[in-house]
Structure 1
Amino acid sequence: MSKHSDKELLKKRKKKKEEKKKKRKNLSEEIKVSLPHKFSLLENYEIVLNFINSLLKRVSYKTKILTLNMIDIKYMDVAALIYTKIILRLLKKENKNLELRGYYPSNPKVKDLLIRSGISIGEEEKVSIFKIRDGKKVNTNLIPEIIRDLENENIKISLASQKALYSILLELMDNTEQHAYPDSTKENNWYFYLQPQEGKIKFVFLDSGEGITETIRKQNFYLSINNSKKVSLANTFDDSTILRMALAGYRVSATRKSNRNKGLPNIFNRSQLEEIKNLKIISRKAAFNFNDDLDLVEELKGTLFYWEVDII
């Protein structure tokens, strides 16, 4: 083979190598994903969590464009909606140059739910009083604002439900501070959203901190049995069991203060009294009223509370 032929061959190989490198670069710079048809964190949680966790692994500081194809979504619940909003916010926080693009669902109800909640891609948001609210600390003005907004829409709930709402939200906002990440650069917000639908109001509260069970595990608490034998929570019980113990009122408070975490059993008791209905909780892998109360395979970032109240 002549020297000229060798040079030509090397040039072709180099060009092919550069094209492959460029293709890989383009793939890493733009990510396109299609969302599950049933985008429900309440009913299809393993698939939804798997989708979001795989997305978190794929998106990096090199990613310039994230395109969400939502055309085929037939159903989306409020829990999946608010969690997606938080994940997109986290991705933007870690990569300020990330551009979000997308295709809205062809289903008009799902599209309307997205836009009215404040998630808009390429379109102006519709005016709606029921948008996702968020904060870092306890906001005592939140509850009166919610009641006023509901009444402005001629939506009424019982006095018992109003009292339950006030008590629950104060506790959950306070818990956000308790379960915050020690690293101040990480997300430590709470998010709240409600959706009136079919004679009831669906409430979702998400605490993006470490989570109830993780906070308890890090303290390496011991549970007294028969006032003598002590059992390590971290080494003995799964996350879902620890969550149920916290709800039941066992002394597993992360702050060791007697006035802390009384609201968790309070929330559970209000559910038992049916002041609130259909209470569901996910805290990282811990599940309450999900998955037969067994630990989930996929992890949720933070703690999510869902409940309903009847419209009167």
Structure 2
Amino acid sequence: MKIIKKIHTNGYRKKTQRNLVSKLKRMRFNARNESWEIQELKSLCVLYKKHIKAKSNLAKSLIKNGRKVILPAPVSIDYYQAPNYRTTNLFLSNITDCIVRAKRRVFIDFSATELISAAAMLSFLAQIETLVSMKHVQGNTPISFSHPKSKKVKSILNQVGFYNLLNKPVGKVEEFEDVNFWHHTSGLCADPSKARPMLDAISHEIKTEYSKKLYRGFIEAMANSVEHAYPTSGSCNKWWTFAGVKDETLIVVICDKGVGIPETLPHTQPASILSALLLKFNANFNQVKDSAYIQAATSLQKSSTHKKHRGKGLQDVMSVIRSTGTGYLSIFSNKGRYKYMGEKKALKESINDYTTSVNGTIIEWSIPLVVER
């Protein structure tokens, strides 16, 4: 009888411990929406419960400063949906904080990632390259990652150069039509001409009556990074871009990791002009939100450089949308977003403000190259 009771007790304890570990694993998964330090603590709880007999040795190993921090990537690395926007920004913030403040190495776990959208991918790529280029981490490998389980996510990371950036062998990659059309490049802010090979690669597909305006809009966005995004010189004062034609639609995404439009606009435009624009958009002068500054920037007719050929880039893109009645322009900058779109010949614009920042500016537009008259 005692033997049966002992077996029953041991079985109950093991089951209880398994349930506890499972609960802690769920906590670790849910910690994706929390800071990396909380994520790590919850991960350590799982390890601690799994290795109860080695408490002292485990405790010593966990506090080693050089231990990699395992960061699970979000299910959706995306900026277009509000919940994904917050999760993606927290993910990027955690990576940056680990490397810059805590001087820790990071291992990105892509096992749960199922979706990566264009704007968020470009911002992610730019952030990782910025971190890898920092002086205190050059020559080291502060970031490593797992192969995604999703074949499409792996294809995206390979297509945009993420594997090459972190020197990881890619292995077998499946091709997808909605991934392979992307061309990507980057360059120092002083040399927007680096984008020319990419533009040449898609130029034969954008020979429309609006091609000149679209090209000028692209170059203007590059020039804005040169002049405004980075007020001080640095080792990674760069721009990054994706561009491609899919289903007879031109899609362009441009990103910089500068100070953002809401920071530069009050310093580059006369107070009278800026006040008039903010008044036009019914902005609260006591607390001007980032989206209002972005909206004001799209309405400027002249560049702060006072050059006749400048300041028309966003206006050019918007004029194409107005003329065709279709397409969209989207601008994320710091904590705001502005969107201008044509849908069934009707024009709409919207603004959004968030609690977290993209830490820079992301300009994206999509223009159909064949328009029904």
What's the TM-score once normalised by structure 1's chain length? 0.77
Distance 1:161 1:262, change over 3 A: closer
Q: 5+ residue gaps in structure 1?
A: 1-15
2:33 is matched with which residue?
none
2:169 is matched with which residue?
123
Q: Residue 123 of structure 1 aligns to which amino acid in structure 2? A: P
| Matched ranges for 1:94-105 at <5 A | 94=134, 95-96=137-138, 97-105=140-148
Secondary structure of the 1:300 match is coil
Q: Aligned match of 1:277 in 302, 309, 327?
A: 327
TM superposition shift of 1:219: 4.8
Aligned residues, how many?
Answer: 288
Residue 300 of structure 1 pairs with residue 358 of structure 2: yes
Residue 210 of structure 1 pairs with residue 262 of structure 2: no
Residue 68 of structure 1 pairs with residue 108 of structure 2: yes
Whole-Å Cα distance in 2 between the matches of residues 276 and 163 of structure 1?
A: 18
TM superposition shift of 1:56: 1.8
Secondary structure of the 1:194 match is strand
Q: Aligned match of 2:190 in 117, 137, 144?
A: 137
Secondary structure of the 2:232 match is coil
Question: Quick check: which one's helix share is greater?
Answer: 2
Conserved? CA contact 2:213–2:316, under 8 Å:
no
TM superposition shift of 1:172: 0.8
Whole-Å Cα distance in 2 between the matches of residues 280 and 42 of structure 1?
A: 10
Q: Aligned match of 2:122 in 82, 87, 94?
A: 82
Distance 1:111 1:191, change over 3 A: same
Mean Cα displacement is larger for which, 118-127 or 278-287?
118-127
Whole-Å Cα distance in 1 between the matches of residues 144 and 191 of structure 2?
A: 33
Residue 244 of structure 1 pairs with residue 244 of structure 2: no
2:23 is matched with which residue?
none
Conserved? CA contact 1:168–1:267, under 8 Å:
yes
Whole-Å Cα distance in 2 between the matches of residues 186 and 298 of structure 1?
A: 25
How far does the alpha carbon of each residue in 1:146-173 deviate from its partner, in whole angstroms, 9 at most, with x for none? 354237xxx7234134323311111111
Residue 51 of structure 1 pairs with residue 91 of structure 2: yes
Secondary structure of the 2:63 match is helix
Distance 1:22 1:98, change over 3 A: same
Conserved? CA contact 1:233–1:242, under 8 Å:
no
Conserved? CA contact 1:31–1:59, under 8 Å:
no
What's the TM-score once normalised by structure 2's chain length? 0.65
TM superposition shift of 1:220: 7.6
TM superposition shift of 1:41: 1.9
Distance 1:285 1:160, change over 3 A: farther
Distance 1:20 1:201, change over 3 A: same
